[in-house]
Amino acid sequence: MNCFLPPVAFVKKFGTDHPVWTLDTSLSYTRWLATHHYENFHVASFLLPKKLQQHFFNVYAFCRWADDLGDELGDTAQSLELLDWWRRGVEKMYAGEPCHPVFAALAESVSEYRLPKQLFLDLIHAFEQDQRVHRYETFDELLGYCRYSANPVGRLVLR
């Protein structure tokens, strides 16, 4: 589908007011993103049981978007603005009003596996922190950062 784009290209083409697609198209998009954005993830997804693959794609798409909004724009202010928009998307999804194809797909996984909202918000917090902090002076500071960056991903996937 010609509107299946990586996150930054998607935002540049559609902005933040893109209408939500059908659920089937949203699920297809998260699958496409997971299997086209980075090769190693696509290979790893084959190791999952079939019934978990789509849910893994949905979580991956959320994480990929948050990561790219933080890392790929090259503009701290714009990254922070878009990460705030992504956070509001989490809130809307949990209120039953997904505002983006990734959230429409992810809502299925959140519902089926009761994925806690805070894990998604923590991950966004980590990407915001990446915009402000570029070096950790102590190991404890680094562990504090991991609480927001690595831990939520592990907890989402293992849930």
Q: What are 24-74's pLDDT values in tens digits? A: 999 999 999 998 876 555 556 678 889 999 999 999 999 999 999 999 999
Helix (H) or strand (E) holding 20: none
Q: Cα–Cα distances in Å, from 77 out to 72, 103, 117, 149? A: 13, 23, 25, 20
User: How long a stretch of residues is the chain?
Assistant: 159
pLDDT confidence of residue 43: 55
> What is the value of pTM for the model shown?
0.92
pLDDT digits (tens, 9 = 90+) for 34-45: 988 765 555 566
The mean-pLDDT minimum among 5-14, 107-116, 122-131 falls in: 5-14
Q: What are phi and psi of 57, to 5 degrees?
A: -60, -40
Superfamily holding 20-158: Farnesyl Diphosphate Synthase (1.10.600.10)
Short-list 76, 78, 43, 73, CA closest to 60: 43
Structural domain boundaries in the chain:
20-158
pLDDT confidence of residue 159: 75
pLDDT confidence of residue 40: 56
d(CA 46, CA 71): 27
Q: Cα–Cα distances in Å, from 51 out to 54, 113, 151? A: 7, 12, 24
CB atoms within 10 A of CB 96: 8
Between 154 and 120, the more confident residue is 120
d(CA 89, CA 97): 9
CA-angle at 27, arms to 7 and 16, nearest 5°: 35
Helix (H) or strand (E) holding 103: helix 101-113
pLDDT over threshold 60, residue 78: yes
